[in-house]
Amino acid sequence: MSLVKLNIKGISYSQTQNGAYALILSEVDGDRKLPIVIGAFEAQSIAIALEKEIRPPRPLTHDLFKNFADRFDIVVKQVIIHKLVDGVFYSSMICERDKIEEIIDARTSDAIALALRFQAPIFTYKNILDKAGIYLKVNPKSDTENEDKILVDELIAEEVDAAIHENYKNKSLEELHQLLSEAVQNEDYELAAKIRDEISKR
């Protein structure tokens, strides 16, 4: 399967899911965007990494991981978003130490927060982009002025919410309750919040 390189376009506050943000990734040689729901802490961590001038007085969790990795000569070479199941993206970090590569499973939000700190490229597979990629109406003027725009327009936020809703609209209430139970059991509270919001809409 062919890999597609992604750039971070920005972060959008979700209009329908309290405390949730959508991380917008865009394909390098195309117009599709990949929206990924992330929590407030991860959104803050990614925003700080994008804003080079903001330096927190004490290291955040992802900064601590970077300092730890630097001390032991571990480098994150790249991040690959390799799977999409029931609206949840799964990612791997390709790490290297002493010229030996290791693959480490990670939540996509954490993997991207670390990719930024290691200046590592982000990829996904073409079939994932075909399945979950959307076309967003981005203001071209603001695009050229600021490639790493942190907050995306409310219009985009609404489109992102609609795209996320697509992942669950064909599920029955029984299936949604089952997914909710599994998410809580797996301590995936971000996913649980998304499913709960979808159940509430019904």
∠ CA(78), CA(47), CA(135), 5° rounding? 75
Q: pLDDT (tens digit, 9 = 90+) per residue, 188-197? A: 666 777 777 7
Average pLDDT over residues 53-82: 91
- Which alpha helices (DSSP H) does 106-172 contain, by range? 108-118, 126-132, 140-145, 154-166
pLDDT greater than 70 at residue 3: yes
Q: Report the pLDDT averaged over residues 43-54.
A: 83
* Maximum CA extent, the chain: 53
- CB contact set of 170 (below 8 Å; sequence gap of 6+): none
Residue 139 φ/ψ, nearest 5 degrees: -65, 115
Average pLDDT, the chain: 82
Q: What is the mean pLDDT of residues 81-107?
A: 94
The model's confidence at residue 40, banded by pLDDT at 50, 70 and 90, is confident
Give the C-alpha distances (Å, rounded to integers) separating 136 from 47, 139, 141: 20, 9, 14
pLDDT for the residue 106: 96
